[in-house]
Amino acid sequence: MADIIRDVIVIGGGLAGLSAALYLGRSRRDTMLIESGHSMAVWEPDVQNSLGFPEGISGLSLLEKGRAHVTRYGVGIVQDDIREIARHGEVFELQGASEQYRANRLLLATGLTHLPPEIPGVRECLGHSLFFCKDCDAYRVQGKRIVVIGANDEAVEYALAMLTYSPSVSIATNGNDLRCGHIQAEWLKAYQVPVRRDRIVHVEHEDGQIRALHFEKEVRLETEAVFTTRGDVYHAGLAEGVGADLDRDGQIKVNEDMRSSVPGLYAAGCVTPANCQMIIAAGQGATAAQAINRDLFEQSLRTHSLPVYQGGARFGVRGSKESLSASNPASRTFAPE
């Protein structure tokens, strides 16, 4: 097992993990960020709802900028895939595909995976004209011919919400029965939203831009944008392994400080019941980092392990010989009589 016990390890290098690591680095905590390189953000070529980028920015660039920002404050970023975590006393032990790691506090920012429908042509259109999130992408498809693929209440409500953006919205159940409540069925009738029930066999597109959906019964439906509600897989297995509570959908339950039900274990971003948006994930990461920092500070007070006042000495920064890091064993500490 690793010799070093970090103050904090963040698992996940998406928006939530990077934002948390930034705050923790600037709080002078000995922090490591471990990630397996599968942030959902890379699927978005043109993020339009991230404050500070009025011309838009690709998800990939946002991550690259985030990594540069985080490393500037001394946080090490490691590529690994964490397979298992265990808690021994107050220390978390992590088993990665390549290495083992230990930390006093652990933040899970492992995200989720949206499941695209398994229809030929779909993959090429992801993020370009096939979307999962109306809050992210409805604005950019205003006035277009939109199809919502889904067969439940969520799909119905999605389609109705899209009427704010376009008068041409229909539902395709892709061969499934439409299982919606009475009130949702009434709404569909009232707003005259067409529902196609046969299977979609092929998505016609040009360079990722959808032109039409082809149905089993040889119907070609001209379409410019598709939203899908098939489902999400939450990457909460590590949390479950150490006994953290999950909700009905499999998301990690957290309180307003992003604490899970396991002491010392925090979670942020799309693996929690948050609205899965980049800026919200980043905000949750920052919230978790603040709570972790407070937690470690209170622990230092309890254990009398803060660095003590050193009169007129010149103070250095992390990495210099004069470093005053709380985790620096060379720091003088206060021992009560």
Ligand X SMILES: Cc1cc2nc3c(=O)[nH]c(=O)nc-3n(C[C@H](O)[C@H](O)[C@H](O)COP(=O)(O)OP(=O)(O)OC[C@H]3O[C@@H](n4cnc5c(N)ncnc54)[C@H](O)[C@@H]3O)c2cc1C
Query: Contacts with ligand X in 144-163 (CB under 6 A)?
Result: none
In the complex, least distance from residue 85 CB atom to ligand X, rounded to whole angstroms: 9
In the complex, least distance from residue 126 CB atom to ligand X, rounded to whole angstroms: 5
**Under rule CB under 6 A, residue 66 binds ligand X:** no
Which one of 27, 31, 104, 110 is in contact with ligand X (CB under 6 A)?
Answer: 110
Distance CA 138, CA 230 (A): 17
C-beta of 84 vs 186, nearer to ligand X:
84
In the complex, least distance from residue 108 CB atom to ligand X, rounded to whole angstroms: 8
Q: What is the DSSP letter of 113?
A: E
Q: How far is CA 25 from CA 34, 64, 91, 309, in A?
A: 14, 17, 20, 22
Which one of 82, 107, 155, 244 is in contact with ligand X (CB under 6 A)?
Answer: 82
Does residue 224 sit in helix, strand or coil? coil
**Under rule CB under 6 A, residue 165 binds ligand X:** no
What is the sign, positive or negative, of the torsion defined by CA atoms of 160, 166, 167, 172? negative
Length of the chain: 337
Task: Write the binding mask 219 to 248 for ligand X: x where contact by CB under 6 A, - elsewhere.
Answer: ----------------x-------------
Distance CA 51, CA 61 (A): 14
Which one of 8, 20, 32, 109 is in contact with ligand X (CB under 6 A)?
Answer: 109
C-beta of 127 vs 150, nearer to ligand X:
127
User: 53 — alpha (psi -120 to 50), left (phi > 0) or beta?
Assistant: beta
**Under rule CB under 6 A, residue 201 binds ligand X:** no
In the complex, least distance from residue 14 CB atom to ligand X, rounded to whole angstroms: 2
- Side-chain-facing half-sphere of 89: CA atoms under 13 Å: 5
Both tokens of 169, joined, read 């919205």
Residue 179: beta bridge partners? 152
Query: Contacts with ligand X in 12-51 (CB under 6 A)?
Result: 12-17, 34-41, 43-44, 47, 49
**How many of the chain's residues bind ligand X (CB under 6 A)?**
38
Which one of 277, 299, 300, 305 is in contact with ligand X (CB under 6 A)?
Answer: 277
44 alpha-carbon distance from chain centroid: 13
**Under rule CB under 6 A, residue 126 binds ligand X:** yes
Which one of 92, 101, 132, 165 is in contact with ligand X (CB under 6 A)?
Answer: 132
**Under rule CB under 6 A, residue 269 binds ligand X:** yes
Element (H, E) at 182: helix 182-190
Which one of 6, 114, 145, 196 is in contact with ligand X (CB under 6 A)?
Answer: 114
- From 9-17, 66-74, 293-301, 307-315, give the range in contact with ligand X by CB under 6 A: 9-17
- Which segments within the chain are labelled E, that is strand? 5-11, 31-35, 76-79, 82-88, 91-96, 100-108, 112-114, 130-131, 146-149, 169-172, 195-196, 200-206, 209-215, 220-222, 225-228, 232-234, 265-267
The residue behind tokens 């066999």 is 201
**Under rule CB under 6 A, residue 206 binds ligand X:** no
- Which segments within 259-298 are labelled E, that is strand? 265-267
Q: Which residues bind ligand X (CB under 6 A)?
A: 11-17, 34-41, 43-44, 47, 49, 81-82, 109-111, 114, 126-127, 132-133, 136, 235, 269-270, 276-279, 281
